Amino acid sequence: MKSFENKVAAITGAGSGIGRELALELGRRRCNLALSDVNEDGLQETAAQAIALGVRVTSQNVDVAERDAVCAWADAVANEHGKVNLIFNNAGVALASTVERMRYEDFDWLMNINFWGVVHGTKAFLPHLRASGEGNSRRVLIGPDAQIFDWVVRFLPSTYQRITVGYSKFSAK
């Protein structure tokens, strides 16, 4: 993709950090934005900053661990924007603990967001990416913690990242 102008990018975890900066950079490049996060205040702050750049912005509170919510958001983005060219499954969480001290609920929380959130986003948006002509593995951009921007990848050594990278890389073939 040589230009982001008049494209539509959906970004999870857009309420802060890398998600916010990604949204603002894409906005500066004239890309329209569909933003989501569970942090409503942060999401609205990002949306306001992006709107000031003069691009079309929609935002929705979405928990990526909830498959039905992600699927509904993907359909809403396609309906509101008329297309989806890029998905950035950026939402992610971290927990500093030893395996011994972590509860099973902690593992569930991490995996539901960091792994299943990527699966949900990829599966939900892939039909819309294909419909826009952008549905190939170079447009299913993923995270969390794997910084991917059109195949510029830096992997951190963790199991769920290897799984999510592998899943997303081959899901569009």
Q: Which residue has the tokens 């011994």?
A: 100
pLDDT score of 163 more than 60: no
Q: What is the pLDDT of residue 153?
A: 35
Reading the block at residue 170, the tokens are 């081959």
DSSP assignment string, 44-94: HHHHHHHHTTTS-EEEEE--TT-HHHHHHHHHHHHHHHS---EEEE-----
Q: Which residue has the tokens 């409503």?
A: 40
Using CA atoms, how far residue 14 sits from 23, 30, 60, 108, 146, in Å, is: 7, 17, 10, 22, 16
CATH of domain 8-168: 3.40.50.720
pLDDT score of 76 more than 50: yes
d(CA 15, CA 114): 16
What SS3 class is residue 139?
A: coil
pLDDT, greater one: 139 or 87: 87
pLDDT over 90 for what percent of the chain?
A: 68
DSSP state, residue 85? -
pLDDT score of 146 more than 60: no
**Considering Cα of 105, then 60, then 120, then 140, what sign does the dihedral take?**
negative
Q: What is the pLDDT of residue 9?
A: 97
Q: What is the pLDDT of residue 98?
A: 87
Reading the block at residue 75, the tokens are 């359909």
pLDDT score of 168 more than 90: no
Tell me the per-residue pLDDT of 9-62, one tens digit each, with 9 for 90 and over.
999 999 999 999 999 999 999 999 999 999 999 999 999 999 999 999 999 999
Are 52 and 75 contacting, i.e. CB atoms less than 8 angstroms apart? no
Name the β-bridge partners of 141.
Answer: 88
Query: What is the pLDDT confidence band of residue 97, given thresholds at 50, 70 and 90?
Result: confident
